[in-house]
Structure 1
Amino acid sequence: MSSVKSRREMYADATRAAILQAATELFAERGYRGASLEDVAAQANVTRGAVYHHFSGKQALFEEVVETVEEEAMQEVLAAADASDPWDAGLQAVAAYLDKCCEPQYGRLVWIEGPAALGWQKWRECEEKYAYDVTQRFIARLVEAGYLSAESSLRTTSQFVFWMLGGAGLRLAETPEEDKPRLRDEWAALMLEALSALRVD
């Protein structure tokens, strides 16, 4: 069977990508409630029916937007953590994550609109699927390298760090643009203190 996509499949993929891009921009700019499917269709230059062909409704579209944004963000964090030493790589990951949370689009979609539009449970599931998974991978490397104690469970330590990162993300998302660089550095310093206190070497 040929793996080459047909022209119709390529058109469908392009249409779906255009819808997602338009929805990402509009949800970030106007919020979940302020952006309608008609707005998304108009910005993507497709019909409302085309939107419904790819997504069952507004919430399903928003959920896909948040998952896409989170997946891309975690890929950026992993790419930034390129140090060979696990401790240095972990600090690079924290820095990259805090930088990401300063971006208006990411901050609003994930931290402001996400919990309200998706509901607490579904939003938590999304965060655990992406951000928590990445956090746990870094903590596991630090335990394996001897930087962190293995006495506390991997899950407990990962959750502790995960919720610190979440607190930083929410605070930065709520902060006016002009104050974000200062607050980002304050959170970075506090997180370094907390992580350093956990070191056992």
Structure 2
Amino acid sequence: MPPSLVSSWWYLIGNEPFSSLHIGNFTYHWYVRSTTEKLNMSNRRSKKASETRSAILSAARQRFTDEGFEASLSSIVEDAGITKGALFHHFENKQALYYEVWRTLQQEMNQDTQAAAAEGRSPGDPYSAMLAGARRYLEWAARPDYQRIVLIDGRAALGRDWYEADFDLSQKSVRVGVQYLVQQGAIATENAASSAVILQGALNGAGVALSRQVPGVTVESIYNTIEHLLRKLS
């Protein structure tokens, strides 16, 4: 006669749940994870994945700053203390990794310049906020990490994606500043779009000049020129 199922039930040994099954003269036990434990395991995996991603981005940012896009994935993996498999789990290829480092830098710069603009706004001078933001951007453009990753290697490393992403991230901030000047009556509404393009081009060109250490070009000299240009727009 084949073994018959006698019973199946849940019980606790200490604080751990087990399932027990009796078949004939044999009793089988197996451990069953509770919902809480499954959730805790999921949280631990998510935390580990987040820590790994952060380690990759930190190592990549330093390597790309020092060596540009030519930095090897092997060196980044070694610096991060992970395997290549772990890197490719988070990023499809080196270009995808570079883009994420580039995007993070751009977002940090945008947030910082917007904060500087808000802090520098003066009721008596409609240009003060944009000028404060422009100065902060120029300070970023003088930083080694921003210079190498964004201004020098960014366009070649990202190709067409560079222009679209740069336009979305940077042009948006300039348009906000120009729109404020329109509201203050400092720039005519019909000139808003062209003014934003001109200012964005001037700031990008200034950043590249700083990154290439063009003789006679400094943060202060560019700021003075930008201020003169901005106050002439109407």
TM-score over 0.5 for the pair: yes
Percent of aligned positions with the same letter in both sequences? 33
| Whole-angstrom distance in 2 between the partners of 1:108 and 1:139 | 28
Counterpart of 1:175 (choices 202, 205, 213) is: 213
Q: Report matched runs for 1:71-110 at 5 Å.
A: 71-81=107-117, 82=119, 83-85=121-123, 86-110=126-150
1:134 is matched with 173
2:20 is matched with none
2:6 is matched with none
| Whole-angstrom distance in 2 between the partners of 1:107 and 1:90 | 22
Higher fraction of strand = 2
Counterpart residue identity of residue 198, structure 1: L
CA contact (8 A) 2:127 2:231 kept: no
Deviation at 1:84, TM superposition (A): 4.8
| Count of aligned residue pairs for this structure pair | 192
| Whole-angstrom distance in 2 between the partners of 1:151 and 1:31 | 41
Counterpart residue identity of residue 164, structure 1: A
| Whole-angstrom distance in 1 between the partners of 2:122 and 2:104 | 28
What is the TM-score with the length of structure 2 in the denominator?
0.77
Counterpart residue identity of residue 47, structure 2: M
SS of the equivalent of 1:148 reads coil
CA contact (8 A) 2:116 2:136 kept: yes
| Whole-angstrom distance in 2 between the partners of 1:10 and 1:129 | 31
Counterpart of 1:67 (choices 103, 107, 122) is: 103
| Whole-angstrom distance in 2 between the partners of 1:155 and 1:27 | 34
Deviation at 1:158, TM superposition (A): 0.8
Counterpart residue identity of residue 56, structure 2: I
Name stretches of at least 5 consecutive residues in structure 1 with no aligned partner.
none
Corresponding position: 1:114 with 2:150? no
Counterpart of 1:26 (choices 63, 66, 69) is: 63
SS of the equivalent of 1:6 reads helix
CA deviations 1:136-164 (Å, max 9, x no partner) are 11111111111111132x32211111000
| Whole-angstrom distance in 2 between the partners of 1:43 and 1:126 | 28
Counterpart of 1:158 (choices 174, 196, 210) is: 196
| Whole-angstrom distance in 1 between the partners of 2:58 and 2:196 | 32
2:25 is matched with none
2:83 is matched with 47
CA contact (8 A) 2:195 2:233 kept: no
CA deviations 1:101-124 (Å, max 9, x no partner) are 0001101111111011111x2111
Larger radius of gyration: 2
> Cα RMSD between the aligned structures?
2.0
* Displacement over 6 Å in runs of 4+: 2-5
Name stretches of at least 5 consecutive residues in structure 2 with no aligned partner.
1-35
CA deviations 1:10-67 (Å, max 9, x no partner) are 110111011011101101101111x111111111111111100000000110011100
Deviation at 1:198, TM superposition (A): 1.0
